[in-house]
Structure 1
Amino acid sequence: MKILHISPSFYPATYWGGPIWSTKAICDGVAQQPGVALQVLTTDAAGPDRQTRVTPEPLPYPVRYTRRIAGHAIAPGLLARLPQAVAWADVVHLTGTYSFPTLPALACARALGKPLIWSPRGALQATADWSDAPRRHTKQLFEYLAQFLRGADVTLHVTSDAEARQSTQRMGEIRTVMIPNSVAIPPAAPRSTRRSSRLLFLGRLHPKKGLDLLCAAMAGLPAHVHLDVYGTGDAAYIAQLKQECGPRIHFHGHADGVAKERAFADADLFVLPSHSENFGIAIAEALAHGVPVLTTTQTPWQRLDSIGCGACIDLKASDLAQEINGLLGRDLGAMGVRGRAWMQQEFSSTAMIARFVEFYQQAAVRRTTAVPV
């Protein structure tokens, strides 16, 4: 079985946050399965700056990084290679929504009669449920074109029930498959015993993440509470945040590898006051590291409360500072243990990969048994 992944960017372009890691996790796992050949067609974009390009790292499957010449992922070389790559594949897996490869990939898969699984990675959901989502009219036109160009055998991959509901509101009648992301479970590490309390925000620095609300809430928290912010984003937005933040808020920039592990090890509570998340891989990573989580009902993590490893709040009906202060007064160590156990039981990479392989096989069988019209 031959699987083609098409994405506007790919590892090690970690500037783009969670989708880079989750897409790579799918490819890493699927490529190891017997009888599977996998390749990736993407661009060399490593960030919004046109001159920022990835330095490819060795991977156990071929990745074609085409040259990005404009925008976030405008790469003529990707278009040139697209027909041959799609013709090679039994199943096409497209990641991304309002980006350069999306419409050509949908059209090419339709023209060549190939089944396609489409992972919007929360973009359709964010446009549906976030009132401040930018360029809404342009996105509506994009969605109309996607509806017109896509073939009958397109399946929307979602990671939660909420994403399924809100994405299909944007795209109309379309088959969906729900496969949550997986998370790696690191070795258990000792927690800090310092007297101060450390809040952690880790992810893409973007208005929809609600970081401005978290920074504002710091004014209502005790003096021993500090906030560590890890991530990158628009320079003007970051400069504005820093200008409005006090001395107990520390911006550390991008974190991967050892730096990311250290960030989780130093944290007492992970806070993501997001306006929209299809999954929120950083939440799963925090729980896997034994860090309790406070997030919002605009994410698919409502079970935090019932499992006892954090809280999921309605931003409109809650005081963020009070909610944080309440959690800091609880047994965070015990909450972290429960969260880590939850990730081990329900979010293993083995289960995720098995679901994808099963779905790819079903899609390939549909194609070979379809009766020509």
Structure 2
Amino acid sequence: MKIFALIENISNEYGGPANSLPNMLEAIRSELSIESLVYSISSSKDERNEFIERFSIPWIRCQKIGFDKIKYSHELNYKLSIDLNNDDLLFSNNLWNYPAFLAAQLSRKKDIPHIISIRGSLYPWSLGQSNIIKKIAWNFFQKKSLQQASLIHVTCSDEYKAVRDLGITSPIAIVPHGINYDDYQNLPKKSNAIEYLGLNQNKKYILFMSRLHKKKGLDLLLELWPELVDKFPDWCLLIVGPDYSNYTDSISKLAIENDIVHNIKTLGMLTGDKKKCVLAASEFFVLPTYTENFGVVIGEALAAGLPVITTTGTPWSEIGSHNCGKYINLSKENVSQALQEMMSMEEKPFNIMSDNAKLLIKNNYSWSAQAIKFGQALDFVLTKKPAPDVVFLYKEKPANHIL
């Protein structure tokens, strides 16, 4: 058996799935001896993924035709139709567009299992974005695909509830993502990292690292920042990630208008050594996001020993219970208060948070453990016998919901 993983995009700039999917596939290969292939839609043959390259996972990039939102690819249909065998398994990692439609169609046509990882796509906030397109897709194929799936993969109980609230009764496995803890140990010294990145040694740095998108709460953070700089002029906000919404120009304008050019820096998308340096250079991490099904970047920051400020829109309540940051309801006032408390914190309690952050990831979020859980999910798909160590929640009476 091979796992055929479908995803609309898996280049480095794509965010969490570009990290979590290849790491999960590699852990499955290591723990379960199951090989996999990744199929994605590509606009360029030059796209790269550092984890696919590291693990030598076969990656088939298929050319897109037509509108970007639809992600249609005749090449994807052709190659999958030829490559899939009856003993293989389809593992799709997006909703609403052609790869999601094709996976469901081929699963029925070839009578092979289909696991769908929804990756936060069914939270109410996410459903509210591009609402008309999603309503059309829901009625055309998406609801049927989910309802006929062999298994739906979610990463937390809130995501499970989001699926059930839409009336979907397919089996669900809750399996979190993992974090490569060892990748974030032995980081460069702070002063060396700051020098490598060309930053000011006299500043203290707060890190925002994610897609530059409204969903991530970046608008709110930027609105607050000039006021915070007045109180904390020695601090600088580092903004790291791919820009899909023309934020970079807006940030430059904000910096000039508020005379905070030296208190806010955009560094673009960083990987490898540069990513490690920006983590090493920073005092703590902030992601005031509206919603995340997991938030891989949060786990990476914690593994690096950065206390984290994030919201109840993420499944990271352990940040509060393990004293490794601030876990808050999303509001301008709460984000401002949390930032000011962290920026004012003395060294000893700050160091305790840092140590707690590392221990949380080391003890609870290995990829090996998640791969074993996912393997039990595969057993369920193939044998219909759920395993005790995976949370399977299915066939309850669904709540009423109209999309």
TM-score normalised over the length of structure 1: 0.88
1:227 aligns with 2:223: no
1:54 aligns with 2:47: yes
Q: Which runs of 5+ in 2 are unaligned?
A: 192-200, 386-403
2:381 is matched with which residue: 357, 363, 369? 363
**Displacement of 1:91:** 2.1
Match of 1:137 in 2: 132
Contact 2:116 2:149 in 1 (8 A): no
Match of 1:173 in 2: 169
1:350 aligns with 2:368: yes
**Displacement of 1:350:** 1.1
Amino acid at match of 2:291: S
Worse-matched range after superposition: 101-110 or 68-77:
68-77
Match of 2:118 in 1: 120
2:335 is matched with which residue: 313, 320, 327? 320
Q: Identity over the aligned pairs, expressed in percent?
A: 23
**Displacement of 1:212:** 1.6
Contact 1:147 1:171 in 2 (8 A): no
Amino acid at match of 1:243: K
**Displacement of 1:216:** 1.8
State how far apart, in whole Å, the 2-side matches of 1:79 and 1:136 are.
Answer: 27
Contact 1:3 1:38 in 2 (8 A): yes
Contact 1:220 1:321 in 2 (8 A): no
State how far apart, in whole Å, the 2-side matches of 1:319 and 1:358 are.
Answer: 40
Matched residue SS, 1:252: strand
1:146 aligns with 2:142: yes
State how far apart, in whole Å, the 1-side matches of 2:245 and 2:316 are.
Answer: 30
Contact 1:74 1:100 in 2 (8 A): yes
Match of 1:199 in 2: 206
Residues 25-50 of structure 1, C-alpha deviation per residue, up to 9 Å, x if partnerless?
A: 0111222345423222223x2xxxx4
Contact 1:215 1:249 in 2 (8 A): no
Structure with higher RCO (Cα < 8 A, 6+ apart): 2
Match of 2:30 in 1: 32
State how far apart, in whole Å, the 2-side matches of 1:58 and 1:339 are.
Answer: 26
1:18 aligns with 2:16: yes
State how far apart, in whole Å, the 2-side matches of 1:67 and 1:173 are.
Answer: 34
**Displacement of 1:213:** 1.2
Match of 1:210 in 2: 217
Worse-matched range after superposition: 296-305 or 89-98:
89-98
Q: Which runs of 5+ in 1 are unaligned?
A: 368-373
Alignment RMSD (CA, Å) = 2.3
Q: Against the structure 1 CA distance between its residues 216 and 262, is the aligned structure 2 distance closer, same or farther, given a 3 Å change threshold?
A: same
State how far apart, in whole Å, the 1-side matches of 2:202 and 2:340 are.
Answer: 15
1:255 is matched with which residue: 265, 270, 293? 270
Residue pairs, 1:66-81, within 5 angstroms: 66-70=62-66, 71=68, 73-81=71-79
Contact 1:7 1:42 in 2 (8 A): yes
Matched residue SS, 1:124: coil
State how far apart, in whole Å, the 2-side matches of 1:350 and 1:27 are.
Answer: 11
**Displacement of 1:356:** 1.4
Amino acid at match of 1:289: A
Amino acid at match of 1:36: I
Match of 1:335 in 2: 353
Match of 1:371 in 2: none
1:3 aligns with 2:13: no
Residues 225-256 of structure 1, C-alpha deviation per residue, up to 9 Å, x if partnerless?
A: 11001111225343233322431110000100
Match of 2:284 in 1: 269
State how far apart, in whole Å, the 2-side matches of 1:36 and 1:52 are.
Answer: 27
Contact 2:31 2:372 in 1 (8 A): no
State how far apart, in whole Å, the 2-side matches of 1:264 and 1:329 are.
Answer: 20
State how far apart, in whole Å, the 1-side matches of 2:170 and 2:152 are.
Answer: 7
Contact 1:31 1:61 in 2 (8 A): no
